[in-house]
Structure formats: structure tokens, C-alpha cells
Amino acid sequence: MRSTHLHWALVVALPLCLCASLLAQDKPQLEDEELIPQPVPACSLDKKLDANHGVEVLSDTRGVAFGTYLRHMAEQVRTNWYALIPQAAYPPVREKGVVALSFRILKDGSVAQLKFVCKSGDIALDRAAYAAVNKSTPFSSLPREFQGDYLALRMTFAYNPDRKKPDKTPPQESQK
């Protein structure tokens, strides 16, 4: 009886194991680093944000001008962000930080792949920026003339950035 069970196990189980291993070979194997969540770096404010309302287009616009669309989208997010800014960012504490998020706006205005590019180091500041984008969705549909599937963006949120101080040296008078 015992050899019958062993024979059955070899006849049934062995082909199942072989099939499973062959099927597994068709799927790409994950590397160890893909299994470990990667840390999100801290942000630094290294470029002027006012020119583009803190929004950078990461994908091909295919010749479509998105200026007006992006201004409206940024205003919508900014309005929600101002309502969510944590108390620590206000006086007297005036917590400083920069948060950058990347996301895709799909044709219908919905958002996909919202994620941190870099964080401020303060979880409350990070959460407010992330929630501002989430609360703003869906955005308006992308312009009809845009033939792409999505518009990829990076949006930067700066809490209490250092303002460039004006140069206090008097202008030199020209000598005649």
C-alpha cells in the first residue's frame, strides 16, 4: 500500500511540479532590489518655481500647448493645498520643506501613478501635498487635440522657501 502511494505521488506530483517550474520560467524573475521598497530622497529647492506654477511636463506634449490647462490645474491643486497646509508651516514655527510629486493625467482627467519624487522630511508637509493632488481630481479632460494617452507631470510644493534677498550695495555711478 505504501509503494502505491509513493508511485501515485511520483506519477501525479512530479509532473505538476515540472509544469509549475516551466510556467514560472515564462515570468520575469524579480530582482532583490525590486522587492525592497526604495527610499524617497529629500527634496531641495534648486530652481525657480514661479514661472511654471511649480509644474514640470515630463512627457511629450505632441505639439499641444498646455499652458492654460496647466495654469487651471495648478490653481485647483494650490487652492486645495492651501486648505491642507499643516499648522507647523505657519508662524511662529514656519516649518520649511519641499515636496515633489509625479503623476499622470489621463485623457478623462483622472490621475494615475501619483507618487513622491522626493519628500520634505516632515510627514505632515508630505501628506498635505499628496492630499492636495488627490483632492483636486479628477481634473478637466485633456485637450481633444492631444493624441497621447496621458500627460506626465512633476509638481513641486515649497513650504516657506528662502526668498532671495535684494542686493543692498548701491549701484555704481558711471564715470565720465
Q: Walk me through the domains of the chain, giving residue ranges and CATH numbers.
A: 50-159 (3.30.2420)
Tens digit of each residue's pLDDT, the chain (176 residues)? 544 443 433 333 333 333 333 333 443 343 444 444 456 677 666 554 444 568 999 999 999 999 999 999 999 999 999 999 999 999 999 999 999 999 999 999 999 999 999 999 999 999 999 999 999 999 999 999 999 999 999 999 999 988 765 555 555 555 54
Angle at 136 between CA 87 and CA 39, to 5 degrees: 65
Q: Please state, in angstroms and rounded to a whole number, the distance separating the CA atoms of residues 90 and 77.
A: 19
Place of cell 534648486: 46
Interaxial angle between packed helices 67-84 and 123-136, expressed in degrees from 0 to 180 and rounded to the nearest 10: 130
Q: What is the pTM of this model?
A: 0.68
